[in-house]
Structure 1
Amino acid sequence: MRKISLISIAMLIVSISTFAGGLLTNTNQHPAFLRMLSRGANTTSVDAALSNPAGLAFLPKDGFYTSLSIQSAFQTRNIDASCEALGLDKYYEGKASAPVIPSVFAAYKKGDWTISGFFGITGGGGKASFDDGLSMFDAMVIGGLLQQGIPGKAYTLNSYMDGKQYIYSVQLGLTYKITDWLSAFAGGRMNYFTGGYKGALNASAAVDLPLPTGGAIPVGTELIGIDLDCSQTGWGFTPVIGLDAKFGKLTIGAKYEFKANLNIENNTKINSLRMIGAPESELEDYKHGVNTPNDIPAMLSVAAAYEFLPVLRASVEYHFYDDKNAGMAGGKQKFLTKGTNEYLAGIEWDVIKRLTLSGGVQFTDYGLSDDYQSDTSFSCDSYSLGVGAKLQLSERADLNVGYMWTNYEDYTKTGQNYQGTNLPGTNVYSRTNKVFGLSIDYRF
């Protein structure tokens, strides 16, 4: 039964990102991003407070700019599990949703100075539910009981897991216009992590199980039981700097976000591991007060935008997330082969004076490996497409509408030690993601 204690790692961290961006970072905070995807050289709208804060020096007029954005994201995380020796051939469906994701942008420009702020959910952003548990639960239990001579048909197994994860962030900073063509930004972002994990597993005898010493374990007896209710919180600070340069119709924007050291602490209400013939114990990783690293990685953004015509603009952009140097639970970052690379491009067309149509594409390349991927935290390389529009409601108000759809490349993990059972098996990880958003931008 010793191997069953390995279930203690099963709910260690559920990566629940319902956004674009790196492994732990959300970049789509505004529908203008959804509809164009490349906003790192934007200097004309208030969403630049996040995407290109140095560019706020080139806002068209002095005054106060603000934006309220609401997004809805829906994602699936599925696992096609197969281990013939255990009789395991099952498709596990996980759903993550965030129906209301708010963000607020603000900037005040006066001469060469601009002060700006941003509030949003920069990491996580939803709740993931696996109503039928996970293959790592089932494989460990089936394998452990099989070692005790208890076949799969002799017991019933039920499990579920829910996880939620949010990083709320508030950013403040100052932009200064150094020359007519160059500006700089310096600021910081305070990040507050809150998350929670609830799960249960129960394996009970389906028939009377004979004991080697005589007698039997009665039908209905709990063979293994796990109950967990653990919430986690933590704080971290991200310094941010940026530059923006204009060369005629060409704009170049750059931003660097430093790593935020963030530890999350357990607040555990229920933590129970029960095995027949053994005293009740706790899962080590979820004991009350235990701290787990969950750093937000450093991020570099470089973008270039060009105005081909007064009504036609295009941009390209590059993001790098230094995930390998950001602490993760269990030191998982060591198993990444590299940091995350993203390549983005977008285009805008002013169809008429009050209507702008736009589209964009983003390619995301993670440094994934079999040792990094697990049932509770897996990623897949992807490309995203974004479309949408901006409608000028008045001289001071704009409405942005955007939709982003992400296509993920399935990741197949095959090994000879499936879920720690020393048996061959395969998991195929797959995901889907759809995000819709709208905002009202207003200039006072």
Structure 2
Amino acid sequence: MKKLTLMVAFSMLLQLAFAGGLLTNYNQSAQYIRMLSRNAALEIDAVFYNPAGLVKMEDGWHFAFYSQTIFQTRDIDTQFPTLNSGHYEGETTIPVFPDVYAVYKKNNWAFSLGIGPVGGGGTAEFPAGIPTLEVPFSLIPGQLAPLGQIDPALAVNSYDLEMALEASSTFWGIQLGASYAVNDKFSFYGGMRLVPSTNTYEGVIRNIQLNGVDAATWLNGASSQVATMAGNLNALAGVPDVLAPILPTAGEYTLDQLVGAGQMDPVQQGQIEAGLQLMGLSSEQIDAMNLNQINGAYVQAAPGFASTAQTLSGTAQTLTGTATQMGDKEVKTKQKGMGFTPIIGFNITPNDDWTFAVKYEFKTKLTLENETDVDDMGLFPDGAESSNDIPAILAAGVGYRGLDWLEAQLSFNMYFDRGVHFGNNIRYSTLGAQVHRDIESNYTEIALGLQFNVSNNFAFSVGGMRSKNGVTPEYQSDFSFSNSSYTLAGGIMWKITDKLTFDAGVLNTFYQDDTVAFSHAGVGTYNETYGKTTTSIAAGISYSIF
């Protein structure tokens, strides 16, 4: 059985965005997890969702800490015909996904701080690997098929390998800003988010096998056998030169007669007969041939023997060169960078019942630089830089609080993915083609959240969200894929005291499977289907000092 372990968290490749666009984590509070719609929030998590609305909080200090536990599964089903298995399952578990908020409100001003992972935050584990990394090895038996025609004992019937790559990716967001109320109805916000980002990768590819044997050992052994065959054929191509000295006196004799007369030893006889058999002659025919006839047959066959020997010599060298590539490989690197996100926001509260809010996050320019210790795979050259920009976001919300027992919020997000360069599709790059990961339209989300106030200090909430990506088939691959989805959420709010509040919630995202067609030379067109689900459980407290 194949043992293939792959743990991956490429921020550019296997992106770990859990509730948000292609790269952004929008799940930044327990209130969000229980409602899904917070763009018109006036509570402390408005630091992230509606910072201009913070001026509606009471004067004083406000603090909050929330944490989520996130589970995500990924399923990849491929029809690529040479793989040992076409089904791959991935799993991501994040025990702690924290958010910290602090607000100081005084008169018309509110100053705020927010800290949380705005991108990444976890590790993805694929116990069976992913197709793109396994495909090259799965093609080896087919590529070596001609060896079986040379000698059936050299036929390659199976491959096997182990891969292990453990990676982590965290893009922290440290947000500072100030909100100002122009009057009772209108306020605005200006702030900046620092995004210190780190990816780490440590992994190996090892124990590559062919026919259940170490691949390098097997290839070197096959090379030795093929080289021996080439030497034997070269020797047969030289038979006319060996026979030339004795032809004038022994041309009419058979091989048996020559051996009997002591003019040829049995080993030479066996080698000459083996060559004649390669020409398709039977033992009876060979026994009846004299040396002149044998020499004539070899003169005609010698160029073919020499040409085949040359081909086999090249094959032997190729096998030896391939064997050197089958050794264990290791990668150990870290990528680091810093980005900055300017943020502005506006909040309008025409009366106590309604809230209208808009927030715009500018594109985060982010460049990551490799700090590489080992890179046998050639993936992370030391000192190389790569762009990992985070798209701009437009967030708008409407909140209604006109009933004592009900609060409703409607939120809309647009992630400006078309303004970001996502590079080339890794699957095609492995085939030597350059196919850009195009975006057809921007990623959008629309969510409705309802909070039912059972009493003055207790409420439960529900929420629903529709997310629609705008990627093209050229964007998708097993390294990085995006699925449109539906999300459902629910939870509670318990106001323990006037100053202390507890929030908890759970959400589940149901992604729509996406099937993409690929083309591979020698294999043709095949389909690959991507699917995933995400579950998040959150809890946290907020505390105020009036």
Same-fold call, TM cutoff 0.5: yes
Q: Is the 8 A contact 1:79 1:92 kept in 2?
A: yes
Mapped pair 1:79 → 2:83: no
Q: CA-to-partner distance for each residue in 1:223-245, whole Å, 9 max, x for gaps?
A: 63432222211100000000000
Give 5+ residue unaligned stretches, structure 2.
Answer: 1-8, 148-154, 230-315, 426-434
Q: Cα offset for 1:194? A: 0.7
Correspondence for 2:367 among 257, 263, 269: 263
Moved more, 167-176 or 142-151: 142-151
CA separation of 1:380/1:170 partners in 2, compared to 1, >3 Å: closer, same or farther? same
Moved more, 130-139 or 351-360: 130-139
Mapped pair 1:40 → 2:39: yes
SS of the residue corresponding to residue 15 of structure 1 reads coil
Mapped pair 1:204 → 2:209: yes
Structure with bigger strand share is: 1
Correspondence for 1:302 among 367, 382, 396: 396
Q: Cα offset for 1:148? A: 4.0
Amino acid at match of 1:181: K
> Which residue is 1:5 aligned to?
none
SS of the residue corresponding to residue 224 of structure 1 reads coil
Mapped pair 1:180 → 2:184: yes
> Which residue is 1:28 aligned to?
27
CA distance, structure 2, for counterparts of residue 82 and residue 88 of structure 1: 11
CA distance, structure 1, for counterparts of residue 166 and residue 126 of structure 2: 6
SS of the residue corresponding to residue 411 of structure 2 reads strand
CA separation of 1:408/1:12 partners in 2, compared to 1, >3 Å: closer, same or farther? closer
> Which residue is 2:451 aligned to?
348
> Which residue is 2:110 aligned to?
114
Q: Is the 8 A contact 1:197 1:228 kept in 2?
A: yes
> Which residue is 1:316 aligned to?
410
Amino acid at match of 2:466: F
Correspondence for 1:390 among 493, 515, 527: 493
Amino acid at match of 1:390: M
CA distance, structure 1, for counterparts of residue 14 and residue 371 of structure 2: 19
Q: Is the 8 A contact 1:81 1:88 kept in 2?
A: no
Residues 418-429 of structure 1: matches in 2 within 5 Å? 423-429=524-530
Amino acid at match of 1:31: A
Q: Cα offset for 1:12? A: 8.4
Q: Cα offset for 1:405? A: 0.6
Q: Is the 8 A contact 1:40 1:303 kept in 2?
A: yes
Q: CA-to-partner distance for each residue in 1:15-35, whole Å, 9 max, x for gaps?
A: 342520011101111100001
CA separation of 1:388/1:152 partners in 2, compared to 1, >3 Å: closer, same or farther? farther
CA distance, structure 1, for counterparts of residue 325 and residue 368 of structure 2: 32
CA distance, structure 1, for counterparts of residue 202 and residue 75 of structure 2: 19
Correspondence for 1:438 among 529, 533, 539: 539
CA distance, structure 2, for counterparts of residue 334 and residue 259 of structure 1: 18
CA distance, structure 2, for counterparts of residue 229 and residue 141 of structure 1: 22
Amino acid at match of 1:386: A
CA separation of 1:311/1:425 partners in 2, compared to 1, >3 Å: closer, same or farther? same
CA distance, structure 2, for counterparts of residue 99 and residue 299 of structure 1: 27
Correspondence for 1:64 among 61, 66, 81: 61
> Which residue is 2:4 aligned to?
none
Moved more, 364-373 or 104-113: 364-373
CA distance, structure 1, for counterparts of residue 106 and residue 504 of structure 2: 29
Alignment size in residue pairs: 418
Q: Cα offset for 1:213? A: 2.9
Give 5+ residue unaligned stretches, structure 1.
Answer: 1-9, 274-282
Q: Is the 8 A contact 2:79 2:528 kept in 1?
A: yes
SS of the residue corresponding to residue 317 of structure 1 reads strand
Moved more, 183-192 or 75-84: 75-84
CA distance, structure 1, for counterparts of residue 74 and residue 186 of structure 2: 44
> Which residue is 2:422 aligned to?
328
SS of the residue corresponding to residue 83 of structure 1 reads coil
Correspondence for 1:293 among 378, 387, 405: 387
Amino acid at match of 2:65: L
Amino acid at match of 2:143: Q
Q: Cα offset for 1:361? A: 0.9
> Which residue is 1:416 aligned to?
519
Q: Is the 8 A contact 1:131 1:159 kept in 2?
A: no
CA distance, structure 1, for counterparts of residue 391 and residue 415 of structure 2: 6
Q: Is the 8 A contact 2:83 2:135 kept in 1?
A: no
SS of the residue corresponding to residue 65 of structure 1 reads strand
CA distance, structure 1, for counterparts of residue 511 and residue 54 of structure 2: 34
SS of the residue corresponding to residue 54 of structure 1 reads helix
Q: Cα offset for 1:91? A: 1.2
Q: Cα offset for 1:154? A: 4.3
TM-score normalised according to structure 2 size? 0.73
Q: CA-to-partner distance for each residue in 1:91-121, whole Å, 9 max, x for gaps?
A: 1111111101111011111101110110000
Q: CA-to-partner distance for each residue in 1:43-64, whole Å, 9 max, x for gaps?
A: 1x111011000001111x2111
Q: Cα offset for 1:145? A: 5.4
CA separation of 1:254/1:191 partners in 2, compared to 1, >3 Å: closer, same or farther? same
Q: Cα offset for 1:407? A: 0.5
Q: Is the 8 A contact 1:205 1:223 kept in 2?
A: no
